[in-house]
Structure 1
Amino acid sequence: MEAFGITISSRYGRFDELIELLLFAQAAAEAAVAHYVKEAFYDSQSCTCSFELDRTVILGSEIEMTLRSCAHNTVSQFVWFDQCCGVAIEEDG
């Protein structure tokens, strides 16, 4: 499935995961950074989303921070530059 130019998928096609991915894609599009995201995949087994970003996205850049903010505001748990992020992780910490 594609939303706002981003390929989105859920391992088992879970409704709640697809909604989060759609919300992320919409937020990224509204922030004019969706074209930096190639794919967003929700692994239903690990309950974690991963993103394939354009190679020009660099950790700490304005684009990266905008994308991370979009993810943080829409996705429950995700891997970002090899670090687990999200509501479930931060509440435990």
Structure 2
Amino acid sequence: MDSKDKLKELAEQLKALEADDRFVDDRNLWLRNEDTVDKLYPGLNTLAHEVLIKQGKPNGFSMAVLEKLGFKIGPGETDSFGWLSGIIYTSKGKYVYG
């Protein structure tokens, strides 16, 4: 799967997560703390990592595409070198990747 296909797949999984009635709309939830998210969407973390990180840095192009679709993306933990993890903000909560 090339990077364009991976970006499309990530967007589709995020849209599916937002439409999933098994999760309440709570932007303050930490979704990675919920085992069910990773069980229901097993490739989500891998896709986010592959699509949103390029050569060890945030991939601005992919982030811009997802932000146009309504998914804000920002840093999680950081250090003096930059991001250690990222967060995808969805209507169902915050999804940590990286």
Task: Tell me the TM-score normalized by structure 1.
Answer: 0.30
**Structure number with bigger Rg:** 2
Higher relative contact order (CA 8 A, sep 6+): 2
Please state which structure has a larger fraction of its residues in helix.
Answer: 2
Please state which structure has a larger fraction of its residues in strand.
Answer: 1
